[in-house]
Amino acid sequence: MAKPALGRGLGALLGGSPLATPPGPAPFTTLAPGTTPIPDTRERVQRVPLERIQPCPFQPRKDFPPETLRELADSIKEQGIVQPLIVRERRGRLELIAGERRWRAAQLLGLTEVPVILREADDRAVLELALIENLQRENLNPLEEAQGYAQLVEQFQLKQEEVATKVGKSRAVVANALRLLRLPAAIQGYIREGRLSVGHAKVILGLESEKQQKFAAERVLKGGLNVRQAEGLVARLQAREKGGGSRPGAGALLTQDAHVADLENQLRERLGTKVHLRYAAGKGALEISFFSEAELERILQILGVNSD
């Protein structure tokens, strides 16, 4: 059976498709400024003043390109807002749960009212829904996605496995995304801007020191290196970090053996953590890093090892 795209409990929050309405005309109501909406068990679309709505602090998406907002605004000008915004009441105002792009586009158009559906939701449910809405539309950049997962882990004390279940992703996807947040701020900026790919970032994470990571990122950018070329660069730097540069042929071996570098990269992907593979003449060592007891337990589970 396929895993549902929505997290546990979100089906109740969503209440089905926002467009689903009972037979007959859709029940629209208008709320005057300062009035409090009365909760309704039905999917009731209400028209509210745009000025009453405020953005949600849990919104994982931070970048809203002006050109895409203008395109959406043009569409709304022609067709109207087809899908109502989802909001909750917070301290006398309405806080967005889903639909910030539509809200921003409505502001561009100077609309005074917008259709909304009022829901009751706690902070965790709001963050889950905001993440899911953006992930399903592939609107988040890799850093926004990682920061959204980190919010679920840090603010609500969820394990990575629980986060993965809630957002309909694999545990490895969540773990690899969170690893991006270990990179220096400058490198995170390159990823956010699209100058470095996630593939490049995963390779650079193989370096231990922040100085070496920054150096590798600059070399990749200046040289226009692809991911495979970046692997060779990182292998040379790893050999230097481990003192391998003093052993004859050690750096050359790591650089030349692309198969070893590929295996190392696959292990990083699978385990969602730093992995260093040393190999020469049929011998070597595999080093797997972990940064907490919970992460060690997660790695052991992936490897099928019972920690009890």
The pLDDT profile of the chain, 308 residues, written as one tens digit per residue, is 444 444 444 344 444 434 333 333 444 444 555 554 544 444 688 898 989 998 877 776 767 778 888 888 899 988 888 889 888 888 878 888 888 889 989 998 999 899 998 888 788 777 777 777 666 665 678 888 888 888 888 877 888 888 888 778 888 888 999 999 999 999 999 998 889 999 999 999 988 889 999 999 999 998 888 888 888 888 888 877 666 544 444 444 444 455 676 777 788 878 888 888 877 767 788 888 888 888 888 888 888 888 76
The CATH number for 131's domain is: 3.90.1530.10
Distance CA 282, CA 85 (A): 60
Contacts of 17 (CB under 8 A, 6+ apart): none
Q: Is residue 121 part of a domain?
A: yes
Q: How many residues does the chain have?
A: 308
pLDDT score at 191: 92
Q: Are residues 180 and 296 in the same domain?
A: yes
By residue range, what is the domain housing residue 215?
141-302
Q: Are 46 and 37 in contact (CB under 8 A)?
A: yes
Q: Are 244 and 251 in contact (CB under 8 A)?
A: yes
pLDDT score at 137: 61
Q: Is residue 180 part of a domain?
A: yes
> What residues are labeled active site?
100
pLDDT score at 33: 52
Q: Is residue 176 part of a domain?
A: yes
Phi, psi (degrees; rounded to nearest 5) at 54: -125, 155
Phi, psi (degrees; rounded to nearest 5) at 164: -60, -45
Q: Which two tokens stand for residue 108?
A: 């561009």
pLDDT score at 55: 84
Q: Is residue 220 part of a domain?
A: yes
Domain boundary among 85, 119, 140: 140
Q: Are residues 62 and 116 in the same domain?
A: yes
Distance CA 67, CA 78 (A): 17
The CATH number for 173's domain is: 1.10.10.2830
Q: Is residue 22 part of a domain?
A: no
Q: Is residue 48 part of a domain?
A: yes
Q: Are residues 229 and 105 in the same domain?
A: no
Q: In the chain, how many domains are there?
A: 2
Q: Are 97 and 87 in contact (CB under 8 A)?
A: yes
Q: Are residues 157 and 93 in the same domain?
A: no
Q: Is residue 196 part of a domain?
A: yes
Q: Which residues pair with 87 in a beta bridge?
A: 96, 118
Q: Are residues 86 and 65 in the same domain?
A: yes
Distance CA 273, CA 152 (A): 19
Distance CA 233, CA 228 (A): 9
Pairing state between β 45-49 and 113-118? antiparallel
Contacts of 96 (CB under 8 A, 6+ apart): 53, 54, 55, 56, 59, 85, 86, 87, 103
